[in-house]
């Protein structure tokens, strides 16, 4: 035994890693080994993608744990970022495949940047082909600290059947669902084991002079010394230990538990890392919000200080229920202690990311900002009567998901969802159907084309109508002229001698501006000046209404005659990719009528480039899908509107 006391403060761990590395399977295996199993999917080989954080509580050898299973898909990366901001330690789950190391790179970077203590668990060790060293070397290229193997696989025949513990120099055979069984170190692994141990000690000696001296004098340090160094270096982020196993066959799970138990920093250490004062009222931070049918609003929170008791006043709301999640199902508890992740009920006024203190004002703590949207879909209710219900449901979804945005197109009248990709918006629409009974259809959002004119015209509009008693009469002469791009709409009154009386002139201006909202192609007309030069009126038959109609007639004819042209929005797009994909990203943008402006190293991201281009907005709808499919899912982009450009016929006018 390592001699650490039992019954320490609760600790929190997040399982992170690329999609399909086996986080959810590992989550289940860890909880099963701790005697708090969660429901498993009916067909584990066909397990659904994790799209949301999943929290479960358990006790392992007397210690309380909160464990988070994070989604791996890049579209839900914000959930992982939120989890990392909350936990004492992250387990980075990888596969033993060097080619997949690139997908781990952004996570290694996030861990280093946020200074989250972490270890690496190489899962699917049963699928190992070739040497584990290649995977380690590939990962090392992106890791800030040296990666040291704590275990080596034992391969018998074709299969991985157990492991050698590098520190204790003992070998174990995996036994499904049971503790591994001690065995002789196979002679084939002995050389490798010696080498791994030397490497491990070398890495530790870089931060421990006493150990360095022992190594130089060829004295073997005791396992206790090595364990103490590993723990310290993990907390400091100086060395990253690498464990291995197979979640699916429950191999290496107890070994991982042992490492978690021994090396996960305790809550006060994490609070100090975060700069949270040790003294003060009980403090919690919300990292996820869920509207659950039966419990109402649940705010998942980390307890950063003290003990939070049910009924406390937090952030202006009265706490209505504290839930732990044994078996990943909510179970009421009276209080939550520092170090725990719990769900807090009915904090109506508290948003995701906020900190709250019991009965006091809370100090603000950093929380990751949501990434900007990369994909959009317009949504329509199948039944118009559901529109009110939809806006209520969307308000709740926005509260739950900070990576979702909703816009109502001013010109198009569409409701557009903005998010992180097809899967993200797909699950959002599914959630609206499942939780709110809303049937929606989705379509590609309309491109906000505009129009303008290229030629000045002089137009005459005349309304003369005799209906029963008195008639309607108005006569206007207007000039419609193009203005500089971005100058907007202008109305100028140049009438002299009362040809159009003062009181009718505002109606002419309003009607002209109104008529510009829909030009010959069906889009808003921008950057024109309308000048009222002359007109006629009748003392009885003229009215605002009549002048409006006459102006509308003049505008309709005039705009059509003024050499109208479609204007298409052009965005400035910045694509970021690992630099091996830079050329591909450039081709992708050129293929979408993009004008490449250049590329440069992405600031602070060694090995990544940013490509800048001007690209028509019409070409951006599914850019993220193609970009991801060509860059192992790693490429992303951001866009801002740049300018309107005259369309050379590539853009398709709206159907009449
Ligand atoms: N061969 C093998 N497959 C595994 C192992 N762990 C998980 N898997 C499989 O890998 C796939 C993805 O697992 P999952 O836990 O959903 O990955 P996640 O996306 O990281 O949560 C599933 O088909 C699992 O059955 C393992 O140790 N060995
Ligand atoms: Mg998963």
Ligand 1 contact, 127 CB (< 6 A):
yes
Evaluate whether 112 touches 100 at the Cβ level (below 8 Å): no
C-alpha distance from residue 608 to each of 73, 253, 574, 579, 611 (Å)? 20, 35, 12, 5, 10
Which of the four pLDDT bands, split at 50, 70 and 90, describes residue 49?
Answer: confident
Nearest-angstrom CA–CA distance, 201 and 220 = 10
Tens digit of each residue's pLDDT (9 = 90 or more) over 412-421? 889 999 999 9
pLDDT at 655 over 60: no
Contacts of 627 (CB under 8 A, 6+ apart): 575, 577, 585, 588, 635, 636, 637
Residue 653, SS3?
coil
Q: Determine the Cα angle at 72 with ends 69 and 74, to 5°.
A: 140
Q: For 524-528, what is the mean pLDDT? A: 97
Mutate to test the pocket of ligand 1, among 15, 20, 29, 249 (most ligand atoms within 8 A of CB): 20
Of the candidates 323, 307, 317, 385, which has an alpha carbon nearest to the alpha carbon of residue 351?
A: 317
Residue 19 alpha carbon, nearest atom of ligand 1: 19
Whether 649 has a pLDDT exceeding 80, the answer reads no
Per-residue model confidence (pLDDT) at position 654: 55
- Asked if pLDDT for residue 448 goes beyond 50, the answer is yes
pLDDT of residue 44: 73
% pLDDT > 70, the chain: 98
Contact 93, 22 (CB under 8 A): yes
- 81 CA to centre of ligand 1 in angstroms: 22
The proportion of the chain whose per-residue pLDDT surpasses 90, expressed as a percent, equals 87
Residue 281: per-residue pLDDT: 96
Q: Is the pLDDT of residue 508 over 70?
A: yes
Indicate the SS3 state at residue 413: coil
Q: How would residue 2 be classed by pLDDT, with cut points 50, 70 and 90?
A: very low
What CA–CA distance (Å, rounded) separates 324 from 343? Answer: 7
582 Cβ closer than 6 Å to some ligand 1 atom: no
Q: Are 17 and 107 in contact (CB under 8 A)?
A: yes
Angle 42-423-51 (CA atoms, 0-180°, nearest 5)? Answer: 50
Q: Report yes or no: 426 and 404 within 8 Å, Cβ to Cβ.
A: no
Q: How far is the CA of 95 from the centre of ligand 1 (A)?
A: 9
Give just the sign of the alpha carbon dihedral 302, 306, 312, 313.
negative
> Is residue 5's pLDDT more than 60?
no
Task: Using the atom order of ligand 1, give the atom closest to the CA of residue 73.
Answer: 19
Ligand 1 touching residue 28 (CB < 6 A): no
Instruction: Decide whether any atom of ligand 1 lies within 6 Å of the 436 Cβ.
Output: no
Containing 175, the helix (H) or strand (E) segment is strand 170-175
Q: What is the tens place of the pLDDT at every residue in 555-574?
A: 999 999 999 999 999 999 99
Ligand number, closest to the Cα atom of 247: 1
Paired strand residues for 151: 165
Sign of the alpha-carbon torsion through 496, 499, 503, 504: negative
Centre of ligand 2 to C-alpha 371, Å, is: 21
Kindly give the distance from the C-alpha atom of residue 149 to the centroid of ligand 2, in angstroms, as a whole number.
25
Q: Which residues contact 155 (CB under 8 A, 6 or more apart)?
A: 128, 161, 188
Cβ 654 vs Cβ 413: under 8 Å: no
Tell which residue, 559, 566, 590, has the closest CA to residue 644: 566
CA of 100 to the centre of ligand 2 (A): 17
123 CB within 6 A, ligand 1: yes
User: Of 23-27, 173-177, 181-185, 462-466, which range is least confident?
Assistant: 173-177
Pocket test of ligand 1: the residue of 248, 249, 256 to mutate, having most ligand atoms within 8 Å of its CB, is: 248
Distance CA 335, CA 309 (A): 4
Asked if pLDDT for residue 298 goes beyond 90, the answer is yes
CA distance 93 to 68: 13
Q: Which atom of ligand 1 is nearest to the CA of 245?
A: 27
Residue nearest to atom 1 of ligand 1 (CA): 124
The chain-wide mean pLDDT, for the chain, equals 93
Amino acid 179: pLDDT: 84
Nearest CA to ligand 1 atom 8: 22
pLDDT at position 208 over 70: yes
240 C-beta closer than 6 A to ligand 1: no
Report the separation in Å between the CA atom of 72 and the middle of ligand 2, taken as the mean of its atom positions: 6
Which residue puts its alpha carbon closest to atom 19 of ligand 1?
A: 20
Look at residue 42 and tell me whether its pLDDT is greater than 90.
Answer: no
Let me know: does 447 contact 568? Beta carbons within 8 Å.
yes
Q: Does ligand 1 come within 6 angstroms of the Cβ of 252?
A: no
Where residue 18 falls among pLDDT bands split at 50, 70, 90? very high
Phi-psi region of 157 (alpha: psi -120 to 50; beta: other; left: phi over 0): left
Kindly give the interhelix angle for 209-216 and 187-205, rounded to the nearest 10 degrees.
Answer: 130
User: Three-class SS of residue 59?
Assistant: strand
Higher pLDDT, 447 or 42: 447
pLDDT bin (cut points 50, 70, 90) of residue 651 is low
Ligand 1 atom nearest to CA at 249 = 27
Assess whether the C-beta atom of 24 lies below 6 angstroms from ligand 1.
Answer: yes
pLDDT in tens, 113-128: 999 999 999 999 999 9
Alpha carbon distance 290, 298 (integer Å): 5
CB 72 near ligand 1, within 6 Å = yes
Q: How many residues are recorded in the chain?
A: 656
Ligand 1 pocket check for 22: Cβ under 6 Å: yes
Residue minimizing CA distance to atom 14 of ligand 1: 22
More confident residue, 616 or 412: 616
Ligand 2 mean position, distance from CA 635 (Å): 21
CA atoms of 412 and 518, how far apart (whole Å)? 11
Q: Regarding predicted confidence, which is higher, 618 or 177?
A: 618
Nearest Cα neighbor of 482 from 508, 449, 519, 446 is 519
Nearest partner of 82 among 93, 68, 94, 92, judged by Cα: 68
CB 246 less than 6 A from any atom of ligand 1? yes
Q: Closest by alpha carbon to 521, among 572, 459, 446, 593?
A: 446
Q: Which protein residue's CA is at the shortest distance from atom 28 of ligand 1?
A: 124
- Ligand nearest, relative to CA of residue 22: 1
Strands, DSSP E only, in 421-471? 440-443, 450-453, 457-465
| Distance (Å) from CA 71 to ligand 2 centroid | 5
**Ligand 1 atom closest to Cα of residue 25:** 15
Per-position DSSP letters for 128-157, written without gaps between them: --S-HHHHHHHHHTT-SS-EEESEEEEEET
Query: Going from the N-terminus, what domains does the chain have, and what CATH number goes with each?
Result: 11-271 (3.40.50.300), 277-357 (2.40.30.10), 375-443 (3.30.70.870), 451-562 (3.30.230.10), 567-646 (3.30.70.240)
What's the 77 CA to ligand 1 centre distance in angstroms?
Answer: 19
The C-alpha atoms of residue 174 and residue 244 are separated, in whole angstroms, by: 12
Residue 321: pLDDT band (50, 70, 90) is: very high
Q: Would you call 33 helix, strand, or coil by DSSP?
A: helix
The C-alpha atoms of residue 536 and residue 599 are separated, in whole angstroms, by 61
CA 90 vs. chain centroid, Å, equals 18
Q: Between these two residues, 504 and 8, which has the higher pLDDT value?
A: 504
Q: Is the pLDDT of residue 4 over 70?
A: no
Looking at residue 39, its pLDDT comes to 87
Helix H or strand E encompassing 92: strand 89-94
CA 289 to chain centre: 15
Q: Within 13 A of 613's CA, how many CA atoms are on the CB side?
A: 24
From CA 479, how far away is CA 302, in angstroms rounded?
A: 66
**Would the CB of 47 count as within 6 Å of ligand 1?**
yes
Looking at the CA of residue 127, tell me the nearest atom of ligand 1.
1
Write down the pLDDT at residue 294.
Answer: 80
What confidence category does residue 411 fall into, taking pLDDT thresholds of 50, 70 and 90? confident
Nearest CA, atom 23, ligand 1: 45
Residue 521 β-bridge partners: none
Is 52's C-beta closer than 6 angstroms to any atom of ligand 1? Answer: no
148: left (phi over 0), alpha (psi -120 to 50) or beta: beta
Q: Residue 25: CB within 6 Å of ligand 1?
A: yes
Closest residue CA from atom 2 of ligand 1: 124
Q: What confidence score (pLDDT) does residue 359 get?
A: 86
Digit-coded pLDDT (tens) for 370-380 = 999 999 999 99
Ligand 1 mutation pick, 21, 24, 25, max ligand atoms within 8 A of CB: 25
Q: Per-residue pLDDT averaged across 428-432, rounded?
A: 95
Nearest CA, atom 24, ligand 1: 45
């Amino acid at each position: 035994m390592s001699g650490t006391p039992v019954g320490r403060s609760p600790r929190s761990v997040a399982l992170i890693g690329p999609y399909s590395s086996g986080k959810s399977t590992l989550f289940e295996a860890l909880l099963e080994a701790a005697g708090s199993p969660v429901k498993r999917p009916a067909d584990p080989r066909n397990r659904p993608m994790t799209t949301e954080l999943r929290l479960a509580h358990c006790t392992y050898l007397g210690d309380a744990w909160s464990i988070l299973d994070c989604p791996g898909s890049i579209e839900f990366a914000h959930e992982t970022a939120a989890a990392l901001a909350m936990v004492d330690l992250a387990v980075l789950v990888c596969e033993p495949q060097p080619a997949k190391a690139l997908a781990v790179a952004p996570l290694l970077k996030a861990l280093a940047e946020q200074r989250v203590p972490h270890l690496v668990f190489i899962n699917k060790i049963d699928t190992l082909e070739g040497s584990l060293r290649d995977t380690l070397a590939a990962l090392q290229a992106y890791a800030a600290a040296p990666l040291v193997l704590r275990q080596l696989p034992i391969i018998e025949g074709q299969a991985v059947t157990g492991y050698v513990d590098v520190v204790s120099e003992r070998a174990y055979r995996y036994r499904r669902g049971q503790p591994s069984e001690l065995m002789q170190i196979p002679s084939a692994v002995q050389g490798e084991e010696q080498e791994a141990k030397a490497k491990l000690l070398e890495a530790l000696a870089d931060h421990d002079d006493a150990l360095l001296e022992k190594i130089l004098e060829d004295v073997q340090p005791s396992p206790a010394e090595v364990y103490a160094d590993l723990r310290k270096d993990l907390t400091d982020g100086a060395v990253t230990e690498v464990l291995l196993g197979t979640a699916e066959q429950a191999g290496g799970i107890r070994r991982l538990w042992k490492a978690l138990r021994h090396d996960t920093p305790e809550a006060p250490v994490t609070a100090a890392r975060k700069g949270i004062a040790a003294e003060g009222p009980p403090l919690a931070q919300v990292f996820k919000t869920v509207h659950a049918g039966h419990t109402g609003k649940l705010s998942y929170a980390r307890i950063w200080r003290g003990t939070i008791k049910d009924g406390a006043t937090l952030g202006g709301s009265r706490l209505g229920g504290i839930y732990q999640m044994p078996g990943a199902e909510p179970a009421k508890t009276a209080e939550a202690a520092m170090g725990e992740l719990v769900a807090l009920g009915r904090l109506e006024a508290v948003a995701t990311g906020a900190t709250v203190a019991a009965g006091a004002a809370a100090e603000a703590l950093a929380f990751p900002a949501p990434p900007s949207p990369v994909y959009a879909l317009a949504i329509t209710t199948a039944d118009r009567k559901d529109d009110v219900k939809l806006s209520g449901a969307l308000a709740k979804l926005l509260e739950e998901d900070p990576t979702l945005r909703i816009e109502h197109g001013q010109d198009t009248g569409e409701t557009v969802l903005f998010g992180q990709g097809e899967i993200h918006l797909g699950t959002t629409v599914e959630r609206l159907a499942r939780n709110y009974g809303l049937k929606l259809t989705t379509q590609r959002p309309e491109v906000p084309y505009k129009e303008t004119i290229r030629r000045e015209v002089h137009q005459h509009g005349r309304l003369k109508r005799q209906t029963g008693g008195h008639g309607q009469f108005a006569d206007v002469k207007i000039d419609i002229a193009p203005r500089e791009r971005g100058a907007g709409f202008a109305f100028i009154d140049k009438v002299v001698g009362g040809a159009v009386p003062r009181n009718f002139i505002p109606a002419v201006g309003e009607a002209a501006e109104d008529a510009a909202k829909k030009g010959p192609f069906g889009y808003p007309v921008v950057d024109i000046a309308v000048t009222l030069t002359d007109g006629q009126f009748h003392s009885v038959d003229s009215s605002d209404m009549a002048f409006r109609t006459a102006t509308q007639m003049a505008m309709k004819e005039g705009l059509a005659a003024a050499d109208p042209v479609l204007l298409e929005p052009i965005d400035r797009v910045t694509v970021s990719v690992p630099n091996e994909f830079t050329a591909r990203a450039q081709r992708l943008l050129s293929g979408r009528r993009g004008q490449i402006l250049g590329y440069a190293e992405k600031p602070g991201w060694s090995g990544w480039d940013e490509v800048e281009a001007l690209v028509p907005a019409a070409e951006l709808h599914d850019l993220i899908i193609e970009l991801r499919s060509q860059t192992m899912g790693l490429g992303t982009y951001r866009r801002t509107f740049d300018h309107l450009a005259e369309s050379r016929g590539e853009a398709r006018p709206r159907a009449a």
